[in-house]
A and B are shown apart, each in its own frame.
Chain A
Amino acid sequence: MTVQAWTFVLVGLSFALYIGIAIWSRANTTSEFYVAGKGVSPLANGMATAADWMSAASFISMAGIISFSGYDGSVYLMGWTGGYVLLALLLAPYLRKFGAYTVPDFVGDRYYSQTARIVAVVCAIFVSFTYVAGQMRGVGIVFSRFLEVDITVGVAIGMGIVFFYAVLGGMKGITYTQVAQYCVLIFAYLVPAIFLSLLITGNVIPQIGFGGVDQTSGTFLLDRLNDLHQDLGFAAYTSGEKSTIDIFFITAALMAGTAGLPHVIIRF
């Protein structure tokens, strides 16, 4: 079989899996639709949150951009993970104890105000819209490459599929679909990371291999990257181009943004 045929088979199988999960876990009540009837195990919920985190952008390009940009890429690493600390410490416990489905629910009930609720709804829709616009573009690019159609057509196909299983399964369907996606994504990430690390430094664990010795030159991999970057006229790999103040505020913005992602907050 050609590579094209293999791609069709594998992508077809994973979609069949996602849609099968959606049909199997159809939502019957409002509570099931919004919060999966609170019956999702912590492990499954964690996997689904991780799949939320590894969005279309991370899957298509972020790993490459971060590893290319060296120290400057730290803003994404610290921003997206540090945001989860903010979320876990400052937002999630209170929403959960309050028993609200969404942030607008919480704001409206906590402050006894319909106006506050409407403001929160408008904010949530605006945030979601901005976020989904970017993600959908990513989905469109994936489908346009895969089916060799226009990006616009790709976006339409992607939206059709998501609409189908979101309406059918609600939060429960989405959660279990995300668990399946998590397994697929983590596998797709780990395989190249482990083998690249093995090839370059001979170490199976990529995190350790990154600080290890490059096998062809016998010097530390990071030193080699520094030399390479400087030979090409960039700043050293481990110090980066951005000023401290840029790094500081971009990280802060990414942390606050991550903590506020509506589709992640609802998981608590």
Chain B
Amino acid sequence: MSESSGQSTPAMTLPPDRRPASSEGYWRKNLTYLGGLMSVWFVISYGAGILFVEPLNAFRLPGTGFPLGFWFAQQGSIYVFVVLIFVYVYLMNRLDREFGVDEDAE
């Protein structure tokens, strides 16, 4: 298997001692993105939809019958999940291109 990052070798799946040096930067950025997106995921579903649902239910989504917490649990969280996946795909494709490991380059 080739060790250079420009090849089709999936650098991140090699054990740490065999990874090319540039993959460290790739991995750090990957973790940053993951951390950010997973925080949003947690805050919206477990935060707004479950833990703080009662206080949020005191408000209504303007112009509708939805109590806000209930809306987050039933609809809002799902919309946010879909957006999160699209954002992740966009960020990772950009990162893959930046480090030359995108699938089209193979």
Residues of chain A in range 203-230 having any CB-CB distance to chain B below 8 Å: 207-208, 210-213, 220-223
- B74 an interface residue at 8 Å Cβ cutoff? yes
Question: Smallest Cβ distance from B48 to chain A, in angstroms?
Answer: 10
- Shortest CB–CB separation between residue B46 and chain A, in angstroms? 6
Contact assessment for B46 and A251 in the assembled complex, using a CB-CB cutoff below 8 Å: yes
- A220-B64 Cα distance, complex, nearest whole Å: 8
Given contacts A98-B10, A213-B65, A248-B46, contact A89 B38 (CB under 8 A): yes
Given A89-B37, A93-B92, A244-B51, A77–B10 Cβ distance below 8 Å? no
Which B residues from 1 to 53 make CB contacts under 8 A with A? 10, 12-13, 34, 37-38, 41, 45-46, 49-51, 53
Q: Judging by beta carbons under 8 Å apart, are B73 and A222 in contact? A: no
**B73 to chain A: which residues have CB within 8 Å?**
71, 74, 77-78
Interface string of B85-105 (1 = CB under 8 A from A): 100110010000000000000
Minimal Cβ-Cβ distance residue in A for B54: A239
Cα of A247 to Cα of B54 in the assembled complex, Å:
13
A252 to B51, CA, bound (A): 13
Q: Number of A residues whose C-beta is below 8 Å from B?
A: 35
Interfacial residues of chain A within 88-110, with CB under 8 A of chain B in the complex: 88-90, 93-94, 97-99, 110
Q: How far is the CA of A78 from the CA of B81 in the complex (A)?
A: 9
From the candidates A77, A88, A213, name the one contacting B88 in the complex (CB within 8 A).
A88
Contact partner of A88 (CB less than 8 A), chosen from B50, B53, B85, is: B85
User: Do A251 and B50 touch (CB < 8 A)?
Assistant: yes
A222 to B75, CA, bound (A): 14
Specify the chain B residue showing the minimal Cβ separation from A99: B10
Inter-chain contact B65/A78, CB cutoff 8 Å:
no
Number of cross-chain contacts by CB at 8 Å? 93
Measured CA separation A221–B67 after assembly (Å) = 12
Q: Complex formed: what's the CA distance from A256 to B78 in Å?
A: 16
Question: Is A238's CB within 8 Å of the partner chain B?
Answer: yes
The interface residues of chain B lying within 8 Å CB-to-CB of A85 are 37, 41, 81, 84-85
Asked if residues B88 and A211 are in contact (CB atoms below 8 Å), the reply is no
Query: Contact: B81 with A82, CB < 8 Å?
Result: yes
Q: How far is the CA of A81 from the CA of B10 in the complex (A)?
A: 28
Tell whether A84 is near chain B: CB-to-CB under 8 Å: yes
CA A220 to CA B75, docked complex, whole Å: 17
Inter-chain contact B13/A98, CB cutoff 8 Å: yes
Complex Cα gap A238–B73 (Å)? 10
Sample 24 A-B pairs with CB under 8 A, ordered by A number.
A74-B74, A77-B74, A77-B77, A78-B45, A78-B50, A81-B78, A82-B77, A85-B37, A85-B81, A89-B84, A94-B12, A97-B13, A207-B75, A210-B74, A210-B75, A211-B65, A220-B64, A222-B66, A222-B67, A238-B57, A239-B70, A244-B50, A247-B50, A248-B51
Interface residues of B (CB under 8 A from A): 10, 12-13, 34, 37-38, 41, 45-46, 49-51, 53-54, 57, 61, 64-67, 70-71, 73-75, 77-78, 81, 84-85, 88-89, 92
Nearest 10 interchain pairs by C-beta: A220-B65, A211-B64, A74-B73, A97-B10, A211-B66, A222-B65, A238-B70, A98-B13, A81-B78, A211-B65
